[in-house]
């Protein structure tokens, strides 16, 4: 008998040990799966961060410049104006003999010669080339000037560039100086059939020849600089601005309108202007001096009530090691080449004021320089006839830390500002990539959403967990949680197309509701709390809603009824007009009020759910002890439940904050997406997430905008990470503080 019992015990122990082994095996498997899942989540988040960082990082990488093999350009030695095609296959130049030579960079041989018509025995004494390189201006020894158009057309075979053909068209010469003196400075522009040619023969006088259309005749005008000054530089901007510099440091600017006006005249002494050019788009005037300094000027109305624009010095760049002898603008962006007398070559950017690249000094003095049309190279013809060539790779010259996070002075702006405006209608547009308005807009939208959502969600959670009958709680909580299932695009659609117009039509009643609804709702709660305990105990649970809800509805109806009368009495029946006239504020239909209501509606379920769980998790013995000591339900809720549940409450608010920060569709559809920096509730904003959604279709892969959008994503990632980290730190401290409870 004992042997049978022993055998049975052994079998049971063996079976039990087998089950324990299987449980332990499954436990190890589960632990491995959970561990791998957790590590996978961490790895995924880290991968996303590194991917975003990798896409944004090239913005801050320096440009690369390399010296290429030199070529022979002796056939263009002494040229008065030089140019290059966009593929860097052909060089062309105006020669003193009155010939336009086009040579191959590869072989150094002349491939085409074009004699200027009607030149006679005269020679060329001056020349210039516009920034795009397609228009040359030639000045002759007998006081005439002519326009020469040069075009290049690539030729492909099997999708491979094999050659570049040229097209040259020279217009008839124009008599600039009746005295037939030699022209020492000349410039010209054509635009929409209109043309302007300017020239200097003597010291003080500038001859201006203009025509308004292609078929019109040229009209002559003469401009003069100050007595005793001699003009050293002459630069046209489009067909309506003319800048001149003198040997005494004088800077003159004329407006070539229906009447020619001198709009600025200043002295830059003791510095003397040694180089001058208009930056791409002919808005900013670049001026270099004999002390190595470079500055940029443009015209702007400093004050809104200024009668006309004034010339301001907007940018000052790091000084060069020697006097400037040349400033060559790029035709692709706002960068330009600064050439020093000592052979130093620097690529700078107009807006960011960055030194994009410093090129190696040439082996011989520089006669003239060119920036390749594609902004991918620099060419310098040396006095010994060689062509020094540099390869340039500067994909993001307009980006710097100051442009992204500081104030930059943009063309047409009266002062440095934070501006986001990524694209324009032409390549001459000056991109503006300030992150500050987007970060500000993100914070603004979040703040207004949280101001609306937090009080409602917290009070609702407190009521549901501490005051509502369980039968009421079972209906309220699922109903609120269903709100979270509503797609944000639907909320944004309703807010943008329906709510915004209703708020605009009833703006004064809406503002009154922000006061009347809390006031009447609170009075209803106080009224219920003041009722005798015997009466309240006889009423059915949830009856308090029959007091509070009608009072809230009464507040809304009262606001709608009183609002129009209040608008007539206090705002002259036009609240939006009063905002502009009295406060200088602009009312946008899609504004922060609409965003606060719509995004707050989306955030409420998250905050409510987490907060209600935190309140419900407070041990019942704490509330029972408080009530037993004579505290009321409200005193217990405020002094016991709230402090005890504060870690969960804080977590709920931070989770809601993170939800609001990353919201895209509601902000995208419910605001005007204007990147303004204004706390006014009556205008909109542009957030980081909405900006990414708006701009990404227009961003070329690998371009500056593309990478700046990834930088915006990185900032959004960092903001969320920092907020959640701080929230966790605070939550742990609060938890440590109240753990004894």
| pLDDT tens digits, 212-224 | 888 888 999 999 9
In this predicted structure, the answer to whether residue 3 has a pLDDT above a threshold of 70 is: no
- Residue 348, SS3? strand
Angle at 414 between CA 409 and CA 415, to 5 degrees: 45
Higher per-residue pLDDT: 486 or 122 = 122
Residue 601 lies in a domain: yes
The CATH number linked to 589 is 1.10.3720.10
Q: Cβ distance 676 to 684 under 8 Å?
A: yes
In this predicted structure, the answer to whether residue 722 has a pLDDT above a threshold of 80 is: yes
Q: State residue 663's pLDDT score.
A: 85
The whole-angstrom separation of Cα 183 and Cα 178 is 12
**Chain-wide mean pLDDT for the chain?**
87
Cβ-proximal residues to 428 (8 Å cutoff; 6+ apart), any chain: 280, 281
Helices (H) and strands (E) in the chain, counts: 18, 31
Q: State residue 481's pLDDT score.
A: 81
To the nearest whole percent, how much of the chain has pLDDT over 90? 40
Q: State residue 477's pLDDT score.
A: 82
Residue 194: Cβ-neighbour burial (10 angstroms; 0-12, 13-18, 19+)? middle
In the chain, the number of structural domains is 1
pLDDT, tens digit, 9 for 90 and up, residues 312-332: 999 999 998 889 999 999 988
**Containing structural domain, residue 700:** 436-738
Residue 248 lies in a domain: no
In this predicted structure, the answer to whether residue 619 has a pLDDT above a threshold of 60 is: yes
Q: Cβ distance 151 to 85 under 8 Å?
A: no
Residue 243's pLDDT band, with cuts at 50, 70 and 90, is: very high
Residue whose entry in the numeric block shows the structure tokens 């020279």: 170
Alpha carbon of 343 to those of 368, 369, 624: distances in Å?
11, 11, 88
Q: State residue 305's pLDDT score.
A: 82
Q: State residue 5's pLDDT score.
A: 57
Residue 92 lies in a domain: no
Q: Report the run of H or E that residue 450 belongs to, with start and end.
A: helix 436-466
Question: What is the rounded average pLDDT of the residues 32-61?
Answer: 91
Of 125-134, 172-181, 497-506, least confident by mean pLDDT is 125-134
DSSP string, 491-529: HHHHIIIIIHHHHHHTHHHHHHHHHHHHHHHHHHHHHHH
Residue 618 lies in a domain: yes
Residue 7's pLDDT band, with cuts at 50, 70 and 90, is: low
User: Residues in the chain, how many?
Assistant: 741
Q: State residue 435's pLDDT score.
A: 94
Higher per-residue pLDDT: 543 or 104 = 104
- Residue 322, SS3? coil
The whole-angstrom separation of Cα 143 and Cα 124 is 10
Q: State residue 654's pLDDT score.
A: 87
pLDDT, tens digit, 9 for 90 and up, residues 449-467: 999 999 999 988 888 888 7
The token duo for 355 is 């030194």
- Residue 96, SS3? coil
To the nearest whole percent, how much of the chain has pLDDT over 70? 96
Beta bridge partners of 72: 386
Q: State residue 213's pLDDT score.
A: 86
In this predicted structure, the answer to whether residue 386 has a pLDDT above a threshold of 80 is: yes
Alpha helix stretches (DSSP H) within 343-435: 401-405
DSSP string, 245-261: EETTSEEEEEEESSSEE
The values of phi and psi at residue 270, to 5°, are: -80, -5
Residue 591 lies in a domain: yes
Q: State residue 428's pLDDT score.
A: 67
Residue 673 lies in a domain: yes
Residue 660 lies in a domain: yes
Of 614, 637, 616, nearest to 627 by C-alpha is 637
Higher per-residue pLDDT: 343 or 125 = 125
Whether the full predicted model's pTM is greater than 0.95, yes or no, is no
Residue 698 lies in a domain: yes
């Amino acid at each position: 008998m004992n042997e049978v019992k022993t055998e049975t015990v052994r079998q049971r122990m063996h079976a039990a040990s087998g089950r324990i082994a299987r449980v332990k095996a499954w436990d190890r498997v589960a632990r491995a799966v959970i561990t791998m899942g957790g590590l996978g989540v961490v790895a995924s988040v880290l991968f996303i961060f590194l991917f975003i960082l990798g896409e944004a990082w090239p913005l801050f990488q320096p440009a690369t410049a390399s010296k290429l093999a030199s070529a022979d350009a002796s056939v263009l030695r002494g040229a008065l104006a030089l140019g290059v095609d966009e593929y860097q296959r052909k060089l062309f130049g105006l020669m003193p003999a009155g010939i336009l030579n086009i040579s191959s960079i590869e072989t150094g041989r002349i491939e085409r010669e074009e004699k200027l018509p009607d030149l006679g025995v005269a020679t060329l004494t001056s020349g210039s080339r516009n920034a795009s390189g397609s228009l040359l201006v030639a000045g002759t020894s007998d006081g005439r000037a002519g326009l020469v158009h040069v075009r290049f057309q690539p030729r492909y075979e099997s999708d491979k560039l094999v050659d570049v053909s040229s097209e040259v068209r020279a217009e008839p010469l124009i008599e600039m100086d009746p005295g037939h003196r030699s022209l020492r400075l000349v410039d010209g522009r054509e635009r929409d059939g209109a043309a302007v040619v300017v020239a200097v023969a003597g010291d003080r006088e500038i001859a201006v020849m203009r025509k308004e259309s292609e078929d019109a005749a040229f009209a002559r005008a003469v401009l003069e600089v100050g007595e005793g000054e001699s003009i050293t530089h002459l630069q046209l901007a489009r067909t309506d601005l003319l800048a001149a510099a003198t040997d005494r440091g004088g800077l003159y600017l004329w407006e070539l309108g229906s009447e020619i006006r001198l709009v600025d005249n200043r002295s830059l002494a003791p510095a003397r202007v040694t180089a001058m050019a208009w930056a791409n788009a002919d808005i900013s005037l670049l001026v270099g001096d004999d002390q190595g300094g470079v500055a940029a000027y443009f015209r702007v109305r400093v004050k809104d009530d200024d009668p006309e624009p004034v010339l301001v010095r907007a940018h000052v760049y790091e000084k060069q090691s020697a006097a400037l002898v040349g400033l060559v603008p790029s035709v692709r962006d706002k960068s330009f080449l600064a050439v020093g007398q000592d052979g130093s070559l620097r690529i700078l950017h107009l807006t960011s004021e960055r030194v994009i690249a410093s090129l190696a000094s040439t082996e011989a003095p520089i006669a003239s320089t060119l920036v390749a049309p594609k902004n991918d190279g620099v060419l310098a013809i040396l006095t010994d006839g060689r062509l020094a060539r540099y390869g340039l790779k500067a994909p993001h010259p307009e980006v710097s830390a100051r442009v992204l996070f500081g104030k930059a002075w943009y063309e047409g702006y009266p002062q440095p500002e934070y501006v986001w405006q990524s694209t324009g209608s032409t390549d001459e547009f000056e991109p503006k990539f300030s992150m500050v308005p987007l970060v500000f807009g993100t914070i603004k939208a979040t703040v207004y959403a949280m101001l609306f959502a937090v009080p409602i969600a917290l009070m609702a959670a407190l009521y549901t967990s501490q005051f509502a009958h369980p039968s009421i709680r079972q209906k309220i909580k699922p109903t609120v949680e269903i709100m979270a299932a509503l797609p944000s695009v639907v909320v944004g659609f309703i807010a943008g197309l329906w709510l915004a117009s209703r708020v605009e039509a009833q703006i004064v009643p809406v503002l009154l509701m922000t006061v009347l609804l809390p006031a009447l709702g609170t009075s209803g709660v106080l009224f219920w709390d003041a009722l005798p305990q015997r009466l309240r105990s006889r009423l059915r649970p949830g009856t308090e809603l029959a007091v509070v809800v009608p009072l809230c509805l009464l507040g809304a109806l009262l606001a709608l009824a009183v609002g129009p009368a209040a608008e007539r009495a206090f705002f002259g029946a036009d609240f939006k007009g009063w905002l502009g006239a009295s406060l200088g504020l602009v009312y946008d239909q899609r504004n922060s009020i609409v965003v606060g209501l719509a995004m707050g509606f989306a955030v409420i379920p998250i905050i409510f759910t987490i907060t209600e769980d935190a309140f419900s998790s407070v041990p019942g013995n704490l509330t029972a002890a408080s009530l037993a000591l004579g505290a009321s339900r409200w005193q217990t809720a405020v002094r016991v439940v709230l402090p005890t549940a504060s870690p969960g409450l804080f977590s709920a608010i931070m989770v809601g904050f993170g939800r609001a920060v990353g919201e895209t569709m509601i902000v995208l559809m419910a605001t005007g997406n204007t990147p303004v920096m204004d706390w006014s509730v009556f205008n909109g904003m542009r957030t980081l997430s909405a900006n990414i959604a708006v701009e990404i279709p227009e961003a070329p892969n690998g371009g500056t905008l593309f990478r700046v959008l990834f930088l915006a994503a990185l900032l959004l990632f960092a903001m969320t990470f920092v907020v959640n980290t701080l929230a966790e730190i605070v939550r742990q401290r609060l938890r440590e503080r109240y753990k004894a409870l």
